[in-house]
Structure 1
Amino acid sequence: MSFIRPILAVAIALAIGSAHAADPLLEQFNTLKAQQPRLQARDAARQLKVSEAELLATGIGSTVVRLSDASDAPREIMRRALDLGRVMALTRNENGVIETTGVATRLPKEAETASRDESEREARNLNIAGGYLGGPIDLRFQFAQWKHAFAVTAPGRDGAVTRSLQFFDANGNAVHKLYLRNEAGVAVFDKLAADFRHPRQDAPLGVTPAAPKAPSKADSAVDLAEFQLAWKEMTDVHQFNRIVAEFGLTREQALRLAPAGMVQKVTPQAVRKLLEDAARQQVGIMAFLGNGALIQIYSGKVNKVMAAEGWFNVLDPDVNLHLRETAFRSGYVVRRANVTSIEFFDDQGDLVVTFFGVRERGKPQPQSWLDLAAGLPKA
């Protein structure tokens, strides 16, 4: 499982530079890594009671370059990253990780700028960064949540140098990581890091603590009839988020309050059967995994699936999907606007991953996908 490999680039800084040796956080991380060499950066940060961004920043001056924190920098960095060529894109939330390898699709200029008015074009440019729609690296951005960026260059386990762009939100949580997977892109990476280099490498990050999770609205306070009517009137699945926000609901609450026949609850363990059946029957799937700042999408067939250390995994050459199924609390087969999806939530009520069937635009869902969804174990 590639995300479990000890690729924490900041660890290399432990042996570099006397200025870093006196950093108490770096010393604590050094001790922790010696005790738990396979520890992931996210889990190491949690144990040390800091954010992952702060932990990565201990490598500034050796393996890490802090990049610009200007409001438009993340979009422009990702736009420039389209020139890197073959990359591995990694997106995760607390209980899911998706990694896809390939070359991102660049949007034709006329498609990027086409819109009905200037404000719409501005919003479109903000969210697409010039590409990443469809293709192997398929991303949906919410750049307002991107706050900290770094370029990381460090030796990997096999001695080869790894280069990555790593992005974090205001709380220091990882938003997205982009790893270079070709030698031809090295010069592009180095120039990008130089062009966006933060003028004050030692400036405090200003990481802010996460706000407490807002309590959900009481079911009794929901205008149930109007909500269910809005659900039935959906003509596109993309309208769902707006409806959920309009009625002040959490996503899982909306599924619980859905009109009769629109939602079937399944067991949390159904995610394993879904992926096993999809692999065995070669049913094309779409997996959506995000974290509030970015959604990464994989579309295609899966082949090698297996369980390991509390995670259920897809381990194919160009896509890895890792789901901490031990933290899953609930699953739902959902029908909206005549489209069937399957959603899984963790023990905090947060959405981990959503699956759709692959289908051609304007054509009905494949019966194989509908059969797969119908065959999942009911809760």
Structure 2
Amino acid sequence: MNAYYQRYLTLKSEHTGKFARDFAGMIGISEAELCHARIGADAKPFTTDFPALLKELHKVGETMNIVRNEYAVHEHVGQYDNVKLGNHGGLVLNPRALDQRLFVGKWVSAFYIKEMTRRGEKESIQIFDGYGDAVLKIYKTDNTNRQEWDALIEKFTVEAQDEFTVSQLEHVSENAFFDAKKIEEEWRAMTDVHQFFTLLNRHNVTRQQAFSSVSDNLACQVDNSALSQILEMALNDGNEIMVFIGSRGCVQIFTGVIEKLTPKDNWLNIFNSKFTMHLMEDQIAETWVTRKPTKEGYVTSLELFAKDGTQIAQLYGQRTEGNLEQETWRNQINAISMKEKVA
């Protein structure tokens, strides 16, 4: 038994409310390195032929899919139908169901985990980036096709590597030299929200730098209580919203109405039948309302950032491409941005 795994067992017995991610941090290694240390006990090395895996996941039917960053967790029950793959990424395109944006080029390692938890035995496929952070976890549910799941696990289990290493995440300095006027001009000339990513790359700026450089009617910083207020309004008004939460390798999207909103301590929690969100409200350092032009008019979003620059989450009103923005959402955002604007 290796030292990391022994330490993991000790910590697990001492801290019943913690998760593998927490234990890895206590040990001083990445979660992927901890999974590698568990091989031979409750983990197996899994394929890195991710396109092949994604093409076959639909066979197992329902799964619970978890995407998270340091400050928010997005859990969605659904099926891997309508998977579309390109050279460096792909989509799981099922609006109002399992909806993901996949940056497969950043996926580096994977493990099959079969473990005993407080809620019984759990089986999952866990995928990690080059820094050892989880980008996506796919759990078997009671409704998963057991036979197909077992066949998938057997097919994609691989031989263990003797050596397993991860890269160290390096801090990237912000670009201090950019043309704010040009950014605003190009922002106003956009005809699709997806063009914003190209704009950021072209000027080598972060989202927050772009927001700070344009007029308030394009990006306006508001009070960090805006998220809790907008969720309360969406709950009360019953309008459909979209909640985007991502890791470095995957963004998962919920579309629908909020069924239950439960703040607890510093966490904002949404509990729907097939969607759960947990978000650390006290870690929100900046909140921005942004308006991006499309052929059908402006699309409005609420974007949340942590102190380290991580985008915690992004919210929109539900909108079908080609249609105008939802009026209820726009009114909710206008109420927030006018009331809570940061001077």
Same fold per superposition (TM over 0.5): yes
Paired residue secondary structure (1:306): coil
Summarize deviations over 1:227-278 as a string: whole Å, max 9, x none: 1110110000000011011001011111111234211211112111111111
Work out which of the residue numbers 100, 111, 123 in structure 2 matches 1:150: 111
Task: Report deviation, 1:105.
Answer: 2.4
Q: Given the two structures, how large is their TM-score scaled by the length of structure 1?
A: 0.84
The percent identity for this pair of structures is 26
Q: Is the CA contact 1:104–1:136 (under 8 Å) kept in the aligned structure 2?
A: no
Paired residue secondary structure (2:263): strand
Q: Which runs of 5+ in 2 are unaligned?
A: none
Correspondences of 1:53-68 after superposition (within 5 Å): 53-68=32-47
1:47 aligns with 2:37: no
The equivalent of 1:247 in structure 2 is: 203
Counterpart-to-counterpart distance in 2, 1:358 and 1:205: 42
Q: Which has the higher strand share?
A: 2
Counterpart-to-counterpart distance in 1, 2:80 and 2:165: 32
Paired residue secondary structure (1:203): coil
Q: Is the CA contact 2:221–2:289 (under 8 Å) kept in the aligned structure 1?
A: yes
Task: Report deviation, 1:89.
Answer: 0.7
Q: Which runs of 4+ in 1 moved over 4 A?
A: none
Q: CA RMSD in A?
A: 1.8
Counterpart-to-counterpart distance in 1, 2:102 and 2:119: 33
Counterpart-to-counterpart distance in 1, 2:119 and 2:268: 26
The equivalent of 2:61 in structure 1 is: 85
Q: Is the CA contact 1:167–1:177 (under 8 Å) kept in the aligned structure 2?
A: yes
1:229 aligns with 2:185: yes
Counterpart-to-counterpart distance in 2, 1:83 and 1:168: 22
Task: Report deviation, 1:134.
Answer: 3.0
Q: Which runs of 5+ in 1 are unaligned?
A: 1-19, 113-122
The equivalent of 2:6 in structure 1 is: 27
Residue identity in the other structure for 2:218: M
Counterpart-to-counterpart distance in 1, 2:68 and 2:103: 15
Work out which of the residue numbers 164, 185, 188 in structure 1 matches 2:145: 185
Task: Report deviation, 1:184.
Answer: 5.0
Q: Is the CA contact 2:288–2:302 (under 8 Å) kept in the aligned structure 1?
A: yes
Q: Is the CA contact 1:280–1:303 (under 8 Å) kept in the aligned structure 2?
A: no
Task: Report deviation, 1:138.
Answer: 0.6
Alignment: residue pair count: 335
1:205 aligns with 2:161: no
Counterpart-to-counterpart distance in 2, 1:373 and 1:207: 41
Correspondences of 1:285-364 after superposition (within 5 Å): 285-337=241-293, 338-364=298-324
Task: Report deviation, 1:351.
Answer: 0.8
